[in-house]
Structure 1
Amino acid sequence: MKCPSAVVIHGKRIELVNCVPKKAEEWSIELARALAEANGIKFTDDVAKIVKYVREFWLQYGTCPPISVVESDMAIDRRTILALFGGRYDVICILAGAEPPTGCLSQVLSST
């Protein structure tokens, strides 16, 4: 995923580290849309709903939800979810302003 060091949203410069705002409170759906579109991801209503869901989960639990939880709670199958985000699970977390999972689990999720 292409990650700028900063973006400007509504005239405010937001510093990013690996596409995630340095200050968590600076995340917005507009930022998610800008990053998605810069990476060729069409920001549809379904994409926005999933990103918002993952953001809320992250705020509550401090981690991105397993894709099986997203699949179940959103009633969207895994392949459809991944297709919306270019086949990569980590992109969902990044767009939600959360650090994506690392290691083999992330690789497995992105390859299913």
Structure 2
Amino acid sequence: MELNVNGRIVETDPEGYLVNLEDWSDEVAEYLAGQDKLELGENHWKIINYMREYFHEYGTAPNLRFLQKGLKEEFGDEWGEKKFLFDLFPFGPAKQAGRYAGTPKPTGCV
């Protein structure tokens, strides 16, 4: 599927993940969030940036369990709670944040 993000064509797979990870930008993340009728705030960006850093370090996107653990270590206990994360990313924190972060679909996510 092709998206037109500010005049730039960005290709995604059928689930909305970037085909070319190099196509990622803040604007692409905001465009994808807009498709979900979600406005990205500071907490969303913390998770998106965490997902990108994790992927850069480990070569894979974190599943929900690893995301919870890492966010809790980095930002505090509240960030490790499922309810907190689902309030930010209602379609699944690891999957939805991963799409916005330009990472592949996390292993183990349906």
Query: With structure 2 as the length reference, what TM-score do the two structures score?
Result: 0.78
Q: Report the Cα offset of residue 87 of structure 1.
A: 5.0
Change (3 A) 1:77 1:20: same
Q: Which residue of 2 aligns with 1:72?
A: 73
| 2:18 equivalent to 1:21 | yes
Q: Which residue of 2 aligns with 1:44?
A: 41
Q: Report the Cα offset of residue 77 of structure 1.
A: 3.5
Distance 2:61 2:80 in 1: 17
Q: Which residue of 1 aligns with 2:97?
A: 92
Q: Which amino acid aligns with 2:105?
A: P
Which of 29, 33, 40 is 1:32 aligned to?
A: 29
Distance 2:12 2:19 in 1: 5
Q: Which amino acid aligns with 1:82?
A: F
Q: Which residue of 1 aligns with 2:5?
A: 9
Distance 2:58 2:49 in 1: 14
Describe the superposition over 1:1-44 as per-residue Cα deviations: whole angstroms up to 9, x where unpaired. xxxx1222231111111222221111112111111121022211
Decide whether the 8 Å contact of 1:50 with 1:74 is kept in 2: no
Q: Which runs of 5+ in 2 are unaligned?
A: none
Give structure 1 regions of 4+ aligned residues with deviation exceeding 4 angstroms: none
Distance 2:37 2:73 in 1: 26
Describe the superposition over 1:46-89 as per-residue Cα deviations: whole angstroms up to 9, x where unpaired. 10121011112112211123121123213224221221001512
Identity %: 25
The worse-fitting range, judged by mean Cα deviation, of 61-70 and 50-59 is: 61-70
Q: CA RMSD in A?
A: 1.8
Q: Which runs of 5+ in 1 are unaligned?
A: 108-112
Q: How many positions carry a matched residue from both structures? A: 101
